Amino acid sequence: MTEEQFVPSLATKAFGTPLLRFQAFLKEYKSEKRRDESSGREYMVVKFDFTDLVVIDSVEPYPFPVAVIEIGYSSTEKTKWDALAQSIKKLYGRTPALDEIVEKTQEWHFGDCKLRTLDDSDKQWKDLPGQAWQIVSIEGIGDPAVETQNRDDHVLDLLDGRTEADFNQEVLTDPTVRQDRDLVTAITNRELLPSLEKAGRAHRDSAGVWHKGPGGGADTGTPA
């Protein structure tokens, strides 16, 4: 057995992990408050904890099956956090809760993007080419049919055993549902439940309580 020879690479990146692209299972994420020593300004960092890591590209050998990726949080556009957020929104076709990407295998890439940067030449803030972490794929996400199926299953879990009034009270405060504008519109316009009933995915009994699956007995149907 011969030892693998290390070949130096001319590729470099900013201080941090040498990883450039990888696939891994996102175990969890945590937020951490930090303080800038020079300015005293406090800021938040989000730490993503990965396991079962497979290296796709790296500036140097990375033999470890785990990794922690840290990204500074910002609610401002054209930041490194925004680059990550936009990549997630693109995959989901909506603005999901961050918890939705946890406990899924996914592919991350440290790739090109536009970042709001202070231009050294004239000391003006500009949208300049930069690099930031972006998610390329997430297990079970990206296929519209799969995403719709997952959404409907979640809604049916909330609906099962509730009247329409109780369901509306519960569903419109649910974090996952509130992130989906089209779904919220369908609920408030009273279009969702009839569509689920027509598709045979839910039915209402004579007491006005909804259940999963198609109706099949004398106790089903809309009350008079």
Q: Which of 23, 31, 24 is nearest to 50 (CA)?
A: 24
pLDDT of 44 higher than 70? yes
> What is the residue whose two structure tokens read 């030449």?
121
Token pair, residue 57, equals 């590209």
pLDDT of 221 higher than 50? no
Q: What is the pLDDT of residues 127-143, one digit of tens each?
A: 889 999 999 999 888 65
Bigger pLDDT: 151 vs 1: 151
pLDDT at 129: 92
d(CA 205, CA 213): 12
3-class secondary structure, 190:
coil
Q: Which of 84, 103, 105 is nearest to 95 (CA)?
A: 84
pLDDT at 92: 85
Order of strands, sheet of 124-138, starting from the edge strand that comes earlier in the sequence: 67-72, 42-58, 19-35, 105-119, 124-138
Mean pLDDT of 47-67: 94
Q: What is the pLDDT of residues 16-34, one digit of tens each?
A: 789 999 999 999 999 999 9
pLDDT band (50, 70, 90) for residue 101: very high
d(CA 82, CA 73): 9
